[in-house]
Amino acid sequence: MITDKNLTDFNKSNSEGKIPLSLPSPQEKFSDSCIENSQEQITLLAAAVHSAHDSIVITTTELDYPGPEIIFVNKAFTKMTGYCTHDIIGKTPRILQGPNTDRKVFKDLKEKLRNGQVFFGEAINYRQDGTEFYNQWHIEPIKNSAGEITHYLAIQRDVTDKINDQKRLVYDAFHDSLTGLHNRAWFLQTLQASLVKANQYQDYIFALLFLDLDGFKLINDTLGHSIGDIFLQEVAHRIKNAIRPQDKLARLGGDEFTIIIEDVKDLGIISQITNDIQTALQQPLILGSQEVFTSASLGITMSTMGYETGEEMLRDADLAMYRAKSLGKSRSAIFNKTMHKVAVTRLNLENDLRKALEKEQLELYYQPIIFVANQSIVGFESLLRWHHPEEGFISPARFIPLAEETGLIVEIGEWVLRQACTQCRLWQGLIPNHNLFMNINLSPRQLKQSNFVHDVEQILQKTKCDRHLIKLEITESAILETDNKADIMLNELKELGVKLCIDDFGTGYSSLSRLYKFPIDVLKIDACFIRAIGKEERKEKILEIIVTLAHNLDMEVVAEGVETEVQFLKVKQHQCEYIQGYLFGKPVSSQEIEKSIETKYLTTTNTHPAY
């Protein structure tokens, strides 16, 4: 039988390096062999307890304050806690408790032990040096032969590493690794909880801000992704400092951030916070040797709109953000129902556009390009048209930006290239004495496809089109968006035998200083300069400069948007070789072209130069 004296002696002997033996009481009758076996078992038990890797503590049974008294600990306990045997014997286990110890655990512990049950649990305990560790317990009563509880045996284990690993997993699951902010998963949970609260309590109102940086892609592409990451970290820091402590900030991904503005009592607080964010972001940021400026587009929606899910609220804040971005940089917009209707209309249009190719709703129209010297047709520009089964003709200005944004333009652009080359080959057969050129527009997305040049070559081969009659039109902005690879790609296209043209020259990004680097054959002057003839002297002078520049670089010039005789005479005076516009013909179908191709504007022999 184990007694307090046995345990005290055991512990004393343990500290002296001896293993005590506790023999059965004289009242118990054992044979000599039984006694020897009991002694051997106790010796083995003592050695096992002494050498156990888990901390083992035996206490008395007092559960009320000041608590039980420790009468035995093993080596693992002293190693785990830092307390020596002589420091801990006679003390209460309360010595391990501290400010962060969960007292609720001990309430459950006492209840279980009073009922003679085994207790499992864990809580923060403290070592002798004051450091915290997570202590996992398995405590059970020790009973004598009469079934009375005489002691408690506690097996303890330091599970700090395990708990920290679990915390790290939870942290990683709900935090953004780049900025340290909360991530999308955490934010959606938090947003849903806020909505539930707002629906339960009428006086609780919050706002959701959806923030997208203006021009981040340009920074990322120009300075590199590593600098872009540093930029995002600084942006996250500035936004965090611009909001209140109770507001909730997360990074959804890329350059998108979301903020819950808590407990909005006055709508003015939303305006104040958005202004503070913009002010913080507009301060210059030094990245290496580069000074960078940025701003943000902010979409705002309120919990008072009757949302049921966080996804719905986030969707509308996103729509409002796009509305703000369309208004210009550093803007904010509050969501309204009109925005939702516009978004639904756009979504339906996108779905219809995805089916347009399959259902043969797309068609190419062709606008003549005129040789100024004899006013004859020398070629055509192919222009995409969409016959919607319900809405009729849909303006390219409406569906082409949508195709660009969704990536559908890549597939559509390939179809356009194939159709235009096929049509050019057909007209070569119909009018063998006239080398009619075919101008084909390329989108920025097409130029970013790694296999684009190969695809162009395949189409030229399959259609058997005279590739010298194909002219690919590229905007200035498209060239710039292809970064430093533009000159390589353009040279590869030139090697195929096609010609290259810069479309809408003089608008958007002006690349006069870079123009000479690219193998461009023709400049097409934007129609805004033609419309300015006789109205804006400054623009007319720019027109003259562009023509001179092009000729000095051995390029030919096409004046777009010529609609009046006065405009025609002026571009002729400025020595533009070619014109295009309603004065000489609107875009029409191939069938209409073929009806009049022998008579209208065509001369009987091909007298125009190799445009």
H or E element in which residue 424 lies: helix 408-430
Tell me the two tokens of residue 421. 């080359």
**235 and 265 belong to one structural domain:** yes
Q: Report helix, strand or coil for 246.
A: coil
Between CA 333 and CA 323 the distance in angstroms is 7
Mean predicted confidence (pLDDT) in 289-309:
88
Tell me the two tokens of residue 287. 């990245």
Which structural domain, as residue segments, surrounds residue 449? Answer: 347-596
- Residue 530, in any domain of the structure: yes
Using the predicted structure, report yes or no on whether residue 122 has a pLDDT greater than 60: yes
Q: Assign residue 50 the CATH number of its domain.
A: 3.30.450.20
**158 and 101 belong to one structural domain:** yes
Distances (CA, A) of 314 to 23, 178, 254, 364, 406: 74, 22, 16, 40, 20
Q: Any residues with CB less than 8 A from the CB of 437 and at least 6 apart, and which? A: 369, 378, 379, 380, 424, 469, 470, 471, 611
User: pLDDT value at position 425?
Assistant: 93
**136-169 pLDDT, tens digit each:** 989 989 888 888 888 999 999 999 999 888 888 8
Given pLDDT bands bounded at 50, 70 and 90, which one contains residue 89? very high
H or E element in which residue 408 lies: helix 408-430
Q: Any residues with CB less than 8 A from the CB of 373 and at least 6 apart, and which? A: 577, 608
Q: Assign residue 395 the CATH number of its domain.
A: 3.20.20.450
**Phi, then psi, of 367 in degrees rounded to 5:** -110, 130
**135 and 228 belong to one structural domain:** no
- Residue 24, in any domain of the structure: yes
Tell me the two tokens of residue 236. 């996250």
**277 and 387 belong to one structural domain:** no
Dihedral-angle region of residue 506 (phi above 0 means left; psi in -120 to 50 means alpha; beta otherwise): left
Given pLDDT bands bounded at 50, 70 and 90, which one contains residue 481? low
- Which range among 25-39, 177-191, 312-326, 544-558 shows the weakest confidence by mean pLDDT? 25-39
pTM, full prediction: 0.57
**318 and 433 belong to one structural domain:** no
Number of domains in the chain: 3
**517 and 398 belong to one structural domain:** yes
**186-221 pLDDT, tens digit each:** 999 999 999 999 989 888 999 999 999 988 887 877
User: What does the H/E/C string look like for 159-173?
Assistant: CHHHHHHHHHHHHHH
User: What does the H/E/C string look like for 305-321?
Assistant: HCCCCHHHHHHHHHHHH
**429-470 pLDDT, tens digit each:** 777 667 899 999 999 889 888 899 999 999 999 999 999 999
Using the predicted structure, report yes or no on whether residue 478 has a pLDDT greater than 50: yes
**153 and 251 belong to one structural domain:** no
**391 and 317 belong to one structural domain:** no
User: By the 8 A CB rule, do 413 and 446 touch?
Assistant: yes
Using the predicted structure, report yes or no on whether residue 5 has a pLDDT greater than 80: no
Single-letter residue type at 595: K
**362 and 326 belong to one structural domain:** no
Q: What's the whole-number average pLDDT of the chain?
A: 85
The residue that leads in pLDDT, 5 or 388, is: 388
User: pLDDT value at position 226?
Assistant: 86
User: pLDDT value at position 27?
Assistant: 41
User: pLDDT value at position 357?
Assistant: 85
Q: Report helix, strand or coil for 271.
A: helix
Mean predicted confidence (pLDDT) in 551-559:
92
Using the predicted structure, report yes or no on whether residue 602 has a pLDDT greater than 60: no
